[in-house]
Chains A and B, each alone.
Chain A
Amino acid sequence: QKEVEQDPGPLSVPEGAIVSLNCTYSNSAFQYFMWYRQYSRKGPELLMYTYSSGNKEDGRFTAQVDKSSKYISLFIRDSQPSDSATYLCAMIETSGSRLTFGEGTQLTVNP
């Protein structure tokens, strides 16, 4: 069993839709949770960074962490064609040195 599970999609939505992306994990030592966006043939870039449980909002993006359920989510409001990319969840232990990634969800937002 993988430490981090993420539905690979692909996910296709119309412009303006609300998108929900999710990951589950098994390692209860994970404390920092991140979402990266990766465009085709590019490196991942950090979108959201949260510590422990709770919500964090940044513009059209909201990240949620539920440590009791070992479940994290990323919501994208008013999705745009430019949001079309692969979204990777990632997490790390407090004293850890390595990020553990999900396999990524491929999102397409259609104009």
Chain B
Amino acid sequence: GAGVSQTPSNKVTEKGKYVELRCDPISGHTALYWYRQSLGQGPEFLIYFQGTGAADDSGLPNDRFFAVRPEGSVSTLKIQRTERGDSAVYLCASSFLSRGGELFFGEGSRLTVL
């Protein structure tokens, strides 16, 4: 497809488990972003990749959260020892430009931690 693809679309897990969320950006987009959106709230920035490197990870809430983008395309957001407060929709976006460009969002991965 031509858009940003995120898998899984829904993930239900138990407290304490490990979770991986995958994002496949639009081909040719060098910038990739992860945001988290809680119910009734706007998206909150987590991390930004330019190419393979994390250019800004200041939005990651704690060291249980980690993201990688080893080949500069697909990215994986990893959450260790999940907590109920991690329940949210995790949105991925990509952009052709690294600054000020339009962000194209995927439909999100809805994470529920029981």
Residue numbers of A with Cβ under 8 A of B are 4, 6, 8, 32, 41-46, 49, 88, 90, 92, 94-104
When chains A and B are docked, how far (Å) is the Cα of A97 from the Cα of B106? 18
B74-113, CB under 8 A of A: which get 1 and which 0?
A: 0000000000000000010100001110111111100000
A43 touches B106 (CB 8 A): yes
Q: Indicate which residue in A45, A94, A95, A103 contacts B42 across the interface (CB closer than 8 Å).
A: A103
Residue numbers of B with Cβ under 8 A of A are 4, 33, 40-45, 48, 50, 55-56, 59, 91, 93, 98-100, 102-108
Closest B residue to A8 by CB, please name it: B40
B59 touches A97 (CB 8 A): no
B106 partner residues in chain A, CB cutoff 8 A:
43
A-B contact pairs, 14 of them (CB 8 A): A42-B108, A43-B4, A43-B105, A43-B108, A44-B105, A46-B102, A46-B103, A49-B102, A88-B42, A94-B99, A96-B99, A97-B48, A98-B45, A101-B43
Closest A residue to B105 by CB, please name it: A43
Looking at B41, B45, B98, B103, the one whose CB has the most chain A CB atoms below 10 A away is B103
B33 partner residues in chain A, CB cutoff 8 A:
98-99
A6 touches B105 (CB 8 A): no
B41 touches A103 (CB 8 A): yes
